[in-house]
């Protein structure tokens, strides 16, 4: 883990790049540097600094306890803006920015993108069914297991579909989430939870680094006092 | 009869084809007795049915000899008896034939059956037993096979009725066609008879069954668990103090070993059904040794010298230990009826928490004397705790019998008798459960008087049948299904969808409960998922507005979880939890639960938020948390113990800080909490010293009615203290209070405002300000059509204001006297106390008195002397005093009340000092009129007053109270006045009133001196009294009083000494002349 991040290139170009990333994200420059360092460590042998799907899976599993493969796959696609199957430095920082420090609007958009599987700007009934199909743990024995999920989809659709076109547009989605923030991840958890988020932020953020230092310093002090 | 015999009666199993025999059991005996009673006297009751011929004879082996039966119409045929009447052909209605050594009896009517039984004399039981054993289904014999007893649904009788009616109809038809079909008619008559008979038998059958049920239920068997339960409960009620405990000691006898099956008796005795042996020492009588057997409790002969138990039974067995003890110990019976049981069934998981709380409570309540004993108890208990034994004890404690549980439930109902109970419970010395008992007991009546019974009566309204359930019900049921069986995603969707329903509607609230949604919602609170918790709490917060839901949440342990959530780092979650607690804690048990789980401290912790004027989202959140905390505390603060806990947790400074907030949403719960707590003196003091009065006054000027109301209400409660009243004036609080009187449509606000005015008017400085603000006119205006709660305060305020003479005039001018006098006819006691006081104050003014007299106010006052409430009595008597003083022709007026004088004299028997003092004052006034004095003398006022001088004699300066001094002052005054008639002076002397009066001179109170001196002066006109006085050492104190500044006192003392001196001189003169 990099406690001190060193820029890869000392050149001004690199600095500019970091500066650009800093503006496009919610991270400070040093934080950006740390994140980039981290990405580099994830892919030690590849010539380009980018992350492929498998590595991403491992990464979110390890750091954010996200296991649902389908959702993780969707998250990967949401990160991967240029659809080249890899997450490059820009996508990495921007994605994590939403992941860790995103505003409500950003998150709303992000979640919608995750759930909108075919990226047609609508979440259709079929997509919902796909997303929710694992959400009932113990279907009643006598009835068709799909029946319950279909029901659940109808309920969800009723909840979200403001304009009654049997699909959820981004407007519908934003409206609903604004009304009740609990619905942000309504179709499956696609953002890190509070605990893992804070844990991860601790690795990169400035504030945490400072306080982390001071706490350990305090502990040392205490040790002296007691002795 | 048939059913009872087959089902209830106990038959031995059939053996050797002989059919079963009736067992010799108590139950059978009872059944047989009832049947005998039924048969005996059958002919008298049912003369027609008794002749009904059976289809088949009842035949059995009898012991009755033919000689014993002598009836007309019986033929003797060689030792056999055969009736002349025949059923048909040659079957006689009755026959008694020799059959070997025995006789065989066969009857075909009830008449003969009865005769046989009668003839059998004291062998009735044997006879009947034989008959029934031989005829297992007598009904079938009597009425035919169609009525044979069958298992299951028996509808033979209905078919029979149908048949009869059909035949009757047929007959009627035939009757119309051709006359006379007597044969058919007879047949029907007979059938009718059979029907009647059947009905009679059915009734008997039913009776028998009921009887046997009663028998069977009596036969419930004891189990070890029940025994342990009963004993442990009684242990809690036993101790050393005879007046407070039911038993001195109760414990299990023996080595204390408990077998695996729960029995304590040795195995060889367990075979006999013994469960345990109990030793009991009642307060009255010897040690009792009781065997707990499966068949009940009974007294055994106790252990012999070597310590071996003599298991032999003495006396009856009882089903309950309590009943047995009631029979054996009169003291127990008396105490157990008096005791009110509030043993709570502590939930298992509560135990640890309860202990923690208990420590706090102990800290709090331990007084110097208590502490050492308590701690000792604790260590004992702790050490015990390690042992397994303790565990079993605890478990057992959880299972008292139903009856006791039921008693426990009643604990809420009579708070006033609890005080005694409280002490009793505290001192309980029973060793085992002690540590727990005090909390339980105290909790019961910790609840303060401010608590209304808001929802104790919540009636359970179950939803009706499934048929008319609204569609929401099914939708909610579906959602709850997803809550139960879904993962986090499905749960959140379901939670959010559920909130789309109108959760304020009762149908939805109850639907959630009825489909088991509450359990799931509460379970969700225990999960790790913040979102689920938030969603669940949002729903709970809404639906907990419903009283039934509140109870259900508390029952399901939701409060405990929510209290835990109060420590959560997530602020939204904290807010929601506190708000839900605020809703749920609207009834006593919930409030207690919150306290016992440390909720008060956590809630108080929420109040701690920095007040920043700048609005940033984070600060808003903090304020919101504090607001919700205050909201919850407001609900909780309705219990006295919670107020105490809040104070301990440091709520007061935090509330004071929040009170400075500019936000009204924040202020309402804060002020609400404060006004709720202001019923406690400690809070009143704190409110004053923390400078909260200023803020309260400031908020009186707010725009929100609710806030104004709470502020006024807080001032109402706090203004009991003089300093507070002054502060209210200094901060300019009187003006807004008076201006609140304009809001005549908001009754609650009006109640609070008038209350505050009432209390503030106790200070004379405030009265002046009120005068300037023209409060009197406005208050008088409120005397009409306001609810009683407002009137109490309005009239109280007028009473205080009228202490200032100019105000009496103002009240009259504002037309206040007629409505006041009108209110004297009311029934509300608090109102009556205030009204009488106000009327009394007004009567101090001559002109006012004229109006009161004209409205017959004095008669109304007088009739209030008959009121049940001593406060009303006293207040009425006080009010009568100025009336008599100021009325024209008062003597005549008083005499005009029929029985009035007798009534007032009889009040001297009262036990309330205030009543006595007031009545003495009234009597002193009445006695000014000679005729009236004569009348009350006839009613025996003298001995009664004399008795009072003894009852309330001066007992040394330690025991003096203001009330006593007040009583003495008026008592002496009454005696002084009553001396003016006939030989009353002598009578007072004879009744021994003089010596105690002399001692009154030692009082500190000048007023007592004055009236006592006056009385002594009057009494000293009788020489005998002079001697008594002199002997009691009257001269010295009187000499001092001659030097007093008070002229009245001077004069009376001097006069008294003069009389004594004159007597001495006369005496000397007589001696020397």
B81-118: per-residue pLDDT in tens? Answer: 777 767 666 677 777 777 766 778 888 888 888 888 77
* Local structure of residue B14 (DSSP, 8 states): P
Q: Is A145 on the interface with B (CB under 8 A)?
A: no
Query: B93, B107 in Cβ contact below 8 A?
Result: yes
Q: Is B489 on the interface with A (CB under 8 A)?
A: yes
Q: Tell me the nearest-neighbour CA distance from B604 into chain A, angstroms.
A: 26
Query: A42, A30 in Cβ contact below 8 A?
Result: no
CB proximity list for B402: less than 8 A, separation 6 or greater: none
Cα angle for residues B66, B69, B75 (degrees, 5° grid): 70
- Residue of B479, B486, B570 lying closest to A136 (CB–CB): B486
B451-476 residue pLDDT tens? 444 444 444 444 444 556 778 888 88
Which residues lie across from B102 on neighbouring strands?
B99
Name which residue leads in pLDDT, B85 or B290.
B290
- The residue among B146, B321, B350 whose CA lies nearest residue B247 is B321
Q: Tell me the nearest-neighbour CA distance from A135 into chain B, angstroms.
A: 5
A74-118 residue pLDDT tens? 889 888 888 888 888 888 888 889 888 889 899 999 999 888 888
Q: What is the pLDDT of residue B582?
A: 92
Query: B1049, B1005 in Cβ contact below 8 A?
Result: no
- The residue among B676, B825, B638, B649 whose CA lies nearest residue B752 is B676
What is the number of other CB atoms lying within 10 angstroms of the CB of residue B124? 19
Binned at pLDDT 50, 70 and 90, residue A223 comes out as very low
B516-549 residue pLDDT tens? 889 999 998 888 888 889 999 999 999 998 888 9
* Dihedral class, residue B82 (left if φ above 0, else alpha if ψ from -120 to 50, else beta): beta
Q: Tell me the nearest-neighbour CA distance from B487 into chain A, angstroms.
A: 5
Dihedral, CA of residue B438, residue B440, residue B441 and residue B444, to nearest 10: 140
Angle between helix axes B640-648 and B681-689 (nearest 10 degrees) is 40
Q: What is the pLDDT of residue B93?
A: 76
Please state, in angstroms and rounded to a whole number, the distance separating the CA atoms of residues A166 and A160: 9
- The residue among B612, B610, B604 whose CA lies nearest residue B631 is B604
Dihedral, CA of residue B441, residue B443, residue B444 and residue B446, to nearest 10: 120
Q: What does each C-alpha distance from B683 to B361, B562, B602 come to in angstroms? A: 19, 27, 20
Q: What is the pLDDT of residue A218?
A: 43
Name which residue leads in pLDDT, B608 or B26.
B608
List the structure tokens of A128: 């919902």
* Mean pLDDT for the stretch of residues B587-610: 88
The sign of the CA dihedral B794, B797, B803, B804 is negative
Q: Say yes or no to pLDDT of A221 above 70.
A: no
List the structure tokens of B16: 């050797």
- The alpha helices in B939-1005, defined as continuous H runs, are 941-951, 962-978, 984-990, 994-1000
Chain A residue closest to B529 (CA)?
A: A193
Q: What is the pLDDT of residue B584?
A: 92
Q: What is the pLDDT of residue B153?
A: 63
DSSP annotation string for B732-795: T-HHHHHHHTT-TT-HHHHHHHHHHHHHHTTSHHHHHHHHHTTHHHHHHHTTSS--HHHHHHHH
The three-class DSSP label of residue B1014 is: helix
Enter the ipTM.
0.83
Tell if the CB–CB gap between B496 and A182 is shorter than 8 Å: yes
Binned at pLDDT 50, 70 and 90, residue B673 comes out as very high
Q: Say yes or no to pLDDT of A196 above 70.
A: yes
Please state, in angstroms and rounded to a whole number, the distance separating the CA atoms of residues B213 and B878: 65
CB proximity list for B386: less than 8 A, separation 6 or greater: none
Q: Say yes or no to pLDDT of B348 above 50.
A: no
Percent of chain A at pLDDT above 90? 3
Binned at pLDDT 50, 70 and 90, residue B4 comes out as low
In 3-state terms chain B splits into helix, strand, coil percentages (rounded to 5) of 65, 5, 30
Helix (H) or strand (E) run with residue B295 in it:
none
B265-275 residue pLDDT tens? 888 888 888 88
Q: Is A182 on the interface with B (CB under 8 A)?
A: yes
What is the number of other CB atoms lying within 10 angstroms of the CB of residue B317? 14
Angle between helix axes B764-772 and B722-730 (nearest 10 degrees) is 30
Mean pLDDT of chain B: 78
Cα angle for residues B723, B726, B729 (degrees, 5° grid): 155
Q: What does each C-alpha distance from A163 to A152, A158, A173, A178, B914 come to in angstroms? A: 19, 10, 11, 16, 77
Please state, in angstroms and rounded to a whole number, the distance separating the CA atoms of residues B832 and B795: 9
B873-924 residue pLDDT tens? 999 999 998 888 888 888 888 888 888 888 888 888 888 888 899 999 999 8
What is the number of other CB atoms lying within 10 angstroms of the CB of residue B189? 12
Q: What is the pLDDT of residue B578?
A: 93
List the structure tokens of B810: 């103002």
Please state, in angstroms and rounded to a whole number, the distance separating the CA atoms of residues B799 and B838: 4
Q: Say yes or no to pLDDT of B345 above 80.
A: no
Q: What is the pLDDT of residue B632?
A: 92
Contacts A155 to B, Cβ<8 Å: 478-479, 482, 493-494, 497
CB pairs A-B closer than 8 Å: 65
Q: Say yes or no to pLDDT of B29 above 50.
A: yes
Tell if the CB–CB gap between A187 and B482 is shorter than 8 Å: no
- Residue of B478, B495, B570 lying closest to A151 (CB–CB): B478
Please state, in angstroms and rounded to a whole number, the distance separating the CA atoms of residues B995 and B950: 9
Is residue B259 exposed (0-12), middle (13-18) or buried (19+ Cβ within 10 Å)? middle
DSSP annotation string for B912-933: -HHHHHHHHHHHHHHTTSHHHH
What is the number of other CB atoms lying within 10 angstroms of the CB of residue B607? 24
From A184-188, B17-21, B290-294, B428-432, the region with the lowest mean pLDDT: B428-432
From A195-204, B238-247, B393-402, B704-713, the region with the lowest mean pLDDT: B393-402
B818-873 residue pLDDT tens? 888 888 888 888 899 999 999 888 888 888 888 888 888 888 888 888 888 889 99
Q: Tell me the nearest-neighbour CA distance from B630 into chain A, angstroms.
A: 25
Q: What is the pLDDT of residue B384?
A: 46
Please state, in angstroms and rounded to a whole number, the distance separating the CA atoms of residues B475 and B483: 13
Q: What is the pLDDT of residue B583?
A: 92
Q: Tell me the nearest-neighbour CA distance from A131 into chain B, angstroms.
A: 10
Helices (H) and strands (E) counted in chain B, each on its own, are 59, 12
* Dihedral class, residue B796 (left if φ above 0, else alpha if ψ from -120 to 50, else beta): alpha
List the structure tokens of A94: 């921007």
* Mean pLDDT for the stretch of residues B357-372: 43
- The residue among B23, B9, B396, B369 whose CA lies nearest residue B216 is B9
Which residues lie across from B252 on neighbouring strands?
B278
* Mean pLDDT for the stretch of residues B408-414: 43
Whether this prediction's pTM lies above 0.80 is answered by no
* Dihedral class, residue A138 (left if φ above 0, else alpha if ψ from -120 to 50, else beta): beta
Contacts B531 to A, Cβ<8 Å: 182, 185
Q: What does each C-alpha distance from B746 to B151, B454, B715, B786, B823 come to in angstroms? A: 70, 20, 18, 10, 22
Q: Is B568 on the interface with A (CB under 8 A)?
A: no
* Mean pLDDT for the stretch of residues A53-75: 86
Name which residue leads in pLDDT, B729 or B129.
B729
Q: Say yes or no to pLDDT of B1 above 70.
A: no
Contacts B492 to A, Cβ<8 Å: 182-183, 185-186
DSSP annotation string for B29-42: HHHHHHHHHHHTTH
Q: What is the pLDDT of residue B417?
A: 45
Helix (H) or strand (E) run with residue B282 in it:
none
- Residue of A155, A183, A189 lying closest to B488 (CB–CB): A189
Contacts A136 to B, Cβ<8 Å: 482, 485-487, 490
List the structure tokens of B1051: 């004069």
Please state, in angstroms and rounded to a whole number, the distance separating the CA atoms of residues B803 and B807: 8
Helix (H) or strand (E) run with residue A119 in it:
none
Q: What is the pLDDT of residue B475?
A: 86
* Local structure of residue B106 (DSSP, 8 states): E
Q: What is the pLDDT of residue B394?
A: 44
Please state, in angstroms and rounded to a whole number, the distance separating the CA atoms of residues A69 and A50: 20
Binned at pLDDT 50, 70 and 90, residue B634 comes out as very high
Give the highest mean pLDDT range of B149-158, B210-219, B949-958, B1025-1034. Answer: B1025-1034
Q: What is the pLDDT of residue B393?
A: 45
């Amino acid at each position: 883990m990099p406690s001190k991040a060193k820029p890869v290139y000392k050149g001004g170009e690199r600095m500019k790049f970091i500066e650009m990333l800093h503006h496009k994200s919610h991270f400070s420059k040093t934080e950006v540097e740390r994140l980039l360092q981290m990405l580099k460590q994830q892919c030690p042998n590849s010539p380009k600094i980018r992350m492929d799907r498998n590595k991403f899976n491992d990464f979110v599993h390890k750091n954010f306890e996200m296991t649902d493969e389908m959702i993780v796959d969707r998250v990967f696609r949401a990160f991967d803006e240029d659809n080249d199957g890899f997450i490059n430095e820009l996508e990495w920082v921007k994605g994590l920015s939403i992941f860790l420090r995103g505003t409500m609007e950003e998150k709303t958009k992000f979640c919608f993108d995750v759930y909108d599987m075919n990226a047609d700007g609508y979440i259709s009934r079929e997509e919902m069914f796909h997303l929710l199909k694992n959400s009932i743990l113990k279907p009643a024995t006598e009835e068709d297991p799909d029946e319950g999920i279909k029901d659940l989809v109808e309920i969800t659709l009723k909840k979200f579909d403001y304009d009654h076109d049997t699909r959820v547009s981004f407007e519908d989605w934003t409206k609903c989430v604004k009304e009740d923030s609990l619905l942000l991840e309504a179709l499956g958890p696609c953002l890190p939870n509070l605990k893992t988020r804070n844990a991860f932020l601790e690795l990169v953020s400035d504030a945490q680094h400072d306080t982390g230092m001071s706490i350990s310093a305090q502990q040392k002090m205490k040790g002296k006092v007691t002795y | 009869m048939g059913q009872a015999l087959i089902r209830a009666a106990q038959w031995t199993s059939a053996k050797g084809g002989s059919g079963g025999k009736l067992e010799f059991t108590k139950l059978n005996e009872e059944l047989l007795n009832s049947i005998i009673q039924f048969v005996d006297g059958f002919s008298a009751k049912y003369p027609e049915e008794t002749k009904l011929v059976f289809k088949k004879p009842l035949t059995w082996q009898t012991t009755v000899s033919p000689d014993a039966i002598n009836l007309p119409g019986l033929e003797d045929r060689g030792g056999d008896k055969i009736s002349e009447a025949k059923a048909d052909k040659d079957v006689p209605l009755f026959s008694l034939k020799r059959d070997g050594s025995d006789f065989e009896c066969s009857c075909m009517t009830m008449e003969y059956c009865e005769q046989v039984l009668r003839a059998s004399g004291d062998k009735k039981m044997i006879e009947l037993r034989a008959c029934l054993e031989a005829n297992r289904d007598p009904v079938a014999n009597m009425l035919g096979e169609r009525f044979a007893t069958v298992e299951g649904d028996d509808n033979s009788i209905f078919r029979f009725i149908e048949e009869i009616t059909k035949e009757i109809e047929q007959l009627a038809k035939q009757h119309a066609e051709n006359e006379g079909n007597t044969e058919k008619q007879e047949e029907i008559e007979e059938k009718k008879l059979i029907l009647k008979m059947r009905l009679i038998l059915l009734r008997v059958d039913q009776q028998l069954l009921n009887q046997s049920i009663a028998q069977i239920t009596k036969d419930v068997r004891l189990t070890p668990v029940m025994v342990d339960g009963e004993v442990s409960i009684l242990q809690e009620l036993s101790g050393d103090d005879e007046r407070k405990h039911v038993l001195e000691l109760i414990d299990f006898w023996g080595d204390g070993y408990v077998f695996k099956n729960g029995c304590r008796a040795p195995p060889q005795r367990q075979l006999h059904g013994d469960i345990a042996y109990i030793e009991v020492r009642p307060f009255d009588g010897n040690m009792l040794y009781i065997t707990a057997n499966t068949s009940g409790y009974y007294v055994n002969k106790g252990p012999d010298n070597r310590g071996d138990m003599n298991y032999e039974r003495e006396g009856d067995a009882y089903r309950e230990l309590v009943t047995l003890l009631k029979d054996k110990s009169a003291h127990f019976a008396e105490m157990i009826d008096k005791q009110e049981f509030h043993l709570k069934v502590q939930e298992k998981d509560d135990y640890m928490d309860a202990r923690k709380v208990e420590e706090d409570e102990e800290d709090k309540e331990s007084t110097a004397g208590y502490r050492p004993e308590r701690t000792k108890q604790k260590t004992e208990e702790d050490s015990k705790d390690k042992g397994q034994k303790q565990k079993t004890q605890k478990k057992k404690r959880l299972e008292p019998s139903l009856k006791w549980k039921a008693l426990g439930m009643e604990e809420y109902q009579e708070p006033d008798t609890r005080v005694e109970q409280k002490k009793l419970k505290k001192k309980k010395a029973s060793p085992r459960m002690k540590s727990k008992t005090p909390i339980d007991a105290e909790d019961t009546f910790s609840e303060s008087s401010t608590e209304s019974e808001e929802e104790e009566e919540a009636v359970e309204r179950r939803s009706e049948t499934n048929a008319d359930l609204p569609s929401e019900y099914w939708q909610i049921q579906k959602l709850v299904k997803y809550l139960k069986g879904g993962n986090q995603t499905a749960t959140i969707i379901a939670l959010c969808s559920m909130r789309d329903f109108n959760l304020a509607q009762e149908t939805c609230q109850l639907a959630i409960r009825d489909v088991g949604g509450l359990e799931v919602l509460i379970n969700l609170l225990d999960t790790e998922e913040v979102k689920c918790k938030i969603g669940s709490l949002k729903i709970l917060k809404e639906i907990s507005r419903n009283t039934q839901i509140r109870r259900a949440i508390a029952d399901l342990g939701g409060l405990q979880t929510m209290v835990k959530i109060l420590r959560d780092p997530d602020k939204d979650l904290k807010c929601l939890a506190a708000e839900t607690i605020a809703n749920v804690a609207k009834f006593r048990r919930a409030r207690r639960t919150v306290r016992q789980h440390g909720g008060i401290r956590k809630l108080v912790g929420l109040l701690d938020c920095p007040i920043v004027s700048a609005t940033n989202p984070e600060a808003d959140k903090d304020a919101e948390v504090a607001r919700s905390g205050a909201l919850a505390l407001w609900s909780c603060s309705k219990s006295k113990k919670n107020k105490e806990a809040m104070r301990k947790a440091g709520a007061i400074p935090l509330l004071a800080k929040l009170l400075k907030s500019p936000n009204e949403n924040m202020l309402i719960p804060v002020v609400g909490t404060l006004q709720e707590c202001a019923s406690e003196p400690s809070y009143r003091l704190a409110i004053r010293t923390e400078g909260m009065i200023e803020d309260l006054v400031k908020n009186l000027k707010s725009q929100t009615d609710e806030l104004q109301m709470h502020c006024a209400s807080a001032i109402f409660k706090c203004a009991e203290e003089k300093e507070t009243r002054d502060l209210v004036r200094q901060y300019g609080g009187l003006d807004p209070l008076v201006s609140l009187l304009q809001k005549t449509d908001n009754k609650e606000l009006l109640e609070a405002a008038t209350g505050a005015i009432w209390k503030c008017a106790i200070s004379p400085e405030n009265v002046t300000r009120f005068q300037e603000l023209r409060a009197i006119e406005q208050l008088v205006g409120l005397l009409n059509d306001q609810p009683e709660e407002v009137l109490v305060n309005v009239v109280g305020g007028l009473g205080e204001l009228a202490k200032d003479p100019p105000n009496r005039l103002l009240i009259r001018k504002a037309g206040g006297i007629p409505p006041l006098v009108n209110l004297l006819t009311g029934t509300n006691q608090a109102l009556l106390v205030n009204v009488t006081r106000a009327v009394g104050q007004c009567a101090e003014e001559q002109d006012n008195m004229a109006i009161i007299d004209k409205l017959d106010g004095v008669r109304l006052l007088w009739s209030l002397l008959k009121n049940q409430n001593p406060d009303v009595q006293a207040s009425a008597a006080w009010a009568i005093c100025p009336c008599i003083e100021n009325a024209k022709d008062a003597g005549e007026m008083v005499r005009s009340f029929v029985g009035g004088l007798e009534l007032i004299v009889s009040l001297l028997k009262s036990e309330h000092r205030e009543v006595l003092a007031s009545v003495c004052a009234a009597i002193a006034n009445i006695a000014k009129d000679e005729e009236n004095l004569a009348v009350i003398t006839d009613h025996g006022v003298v001995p009664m007053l004399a008795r009072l001088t003894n009852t309330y004699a001066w007992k040394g300066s330690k025991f003096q109270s203001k009330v006593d001094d007040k009583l003495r002052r008026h008592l002496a005054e009454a005696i002084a006045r009553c001396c003016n008639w006939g030989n009353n002076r002598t009578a007072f002397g004879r009744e021994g009133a003089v010596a105690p009066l002399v001692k009154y001179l030692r009082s500190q109170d000048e007023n007592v001196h004055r009236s006592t001196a006056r009385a002594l002066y009057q009494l000293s006109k009788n020489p005998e009294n002079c001697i008594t006085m002199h002997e009691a050492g009257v001269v010295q104190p009187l000499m001092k009083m001659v030097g007093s500044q008070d002229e009245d006192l001077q004069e009376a003392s001097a006069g008294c000494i003069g009389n004594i001196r004159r007597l001495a001189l006369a005496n000397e003169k007589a001696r020397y002349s």
